[in-house]
Amino acid sequence: MAKTLNYNDFVSQIELPSTEKMFNADISAEQRNADITFTNKELIAAIKRLNNILSMHNRNIYLSIESMAGEKRVHVSNRNTGATVGLLAAVEPVIFIRNLETIGITF
């Protein structure tokens, strides 16, 4: 049986970055997320899970991991054409999946 949280319990479990980092336009996303650590295994699991979610919802987006200049990035491409849609910092899918788990959303 799922545990029911009241609002205060729910909010207290959400980890937010400091507002100084969040709202400072001079700080890049990489600097904002620099203190977030994750393993390669966690990144691979996050990519697999997001690809499953996207597929379940009939989205033609596919995520894959690539290395650029010694850094891992997440390559976002159109599943049908293979065209590049964009690149994400490797930490972004991990943060997204952690947030889904924090609020109890499962797919």
The per-residue pLDDT for 13 is 64
The answer to whether residue 76 is domain-embedded is yes
Domain count, the chain: 1
Which tokens hold the place of 60?
A: 């033609």
The answer to whether residue 12 is domain-embedded is yes
C-beta contacts of 50-54 below 8 A and 24+ residues apart: 50/93, 50/96, 50/97, 52/107, 53/107
Domain that holds residue 67: 7-103
The answer to whether residue 1 is domain-embedded is no
Q: Is 89 helix (H, G, I), strand (E, B) or coil?
A: strand
Is the pLDDT at 9 greater than 70? The verdict is no
Q: What is the pLDDT of residues 24-67, one digit of tens each?
A: 556 565 666 667 788 889 999 999 999 999 999 999 999 999 98
What is the spatial distance between Cα 88 and Cα 65, in angstroms, rounded to a whole number?
A: 10
The per-residue pLDDT for 37 is 83
The answer to whether residue 32 is domain-embedded is yes
The answer to whether residue 71 is domain-embedded is yes
Mean pLDDT of 84-93: 90
User: Over pLDDT 90: what percentage of the chain?
Assistant: 36
Domain of 30, CATH number, reads 3.30.160
The answer to whether residue 93 is domain-embedded is yes
